Amino acid sequence: MREIVFDTETTGLKARGGDRLVEIGCVEMVNRVLTGNIYHVYINPERDMPIEAFNVHGLSEEFLSDKPVFADVAQEFLDFVGQDTLVAHNASFDIGFMNAELDRLSLPPISQDRVVDTLELARRKHGNTGNTLDQLMNRYGVDNSRRVKHGALLDAELLAEVYVELLGGRQISLIGLVEEETDKKPAHLSVVGSLPGGGLRQRPVPLASRLTAEEKAAHEAFVSSMGDKALWLTYADESETSSPQID
């Protein structure tokens, strides 16, 4: 499942009142794990930069003056996000600005039914207070030391970490529940089902196998055709004994 976590910076608060986008930052997640694939662009808003907005994100009119206008980057943004789910914090703000920009180009708007609002997720989980992005990062122990000012790409990266915590924590990324050495994992990743001592929590009673007798026989026939040195034979031997399973 592909999702795009994104954030924007703007010249102000009124998408339909003359304010414009000045930055878009997107990070790609597949099965709730960051892939490293990003989209990031600064945008010339074709207007002045109010001091109130500059104090939030630090993007000056001079800095943005040689950046592309939205019309020049609209299609590459749409190509990056495709038709996948978009995730944003207080999504109505970001989507409102994005759709206002698309409307100026007579392009179709982004439909609300493909948008996940992490602010709404947080309110359902924690009530109506303490749900700003900074407060949620503190709640979940997400390192925000780099966040001196708002920046769309950094905020999207931080929001991605908050998002998976709101959904209950990160999933194990490899089918088969393969344990990786701790020093090979990115520092910001955690594993659902991990114990304080670093082991994996196990089910008291293993789940029943979902393989049918026909599927098992077909797999054994395939493995036997690979010769007596096939790596699969090692796992076939191990599978003959029952092993505990992870929550």
182: part of which helix (H) or strand (E)?
Answer: none
20 neighbors 9 (Cβ within 8 angstroms): no
Dist CA 176 CA 184 (whole Å): 18
Q: What's the first-to-final CA gap in the chain, in angstroms?
A: 21
- What is the 3-class SS of 62-99, one letter each residue? HHHCCCCCHHHHHHHHHHHHCCCEEEECCHHHHHHHHH
Distance of alpha carbon 46 from its chain centroid, rounded? Answer: 31
Q: Which residues are catalytic?
A: 150
Dist CA 225 CA 219 (whole Å): 10
Q: Could you tell me the two tokens for 102?
A: 């698309």
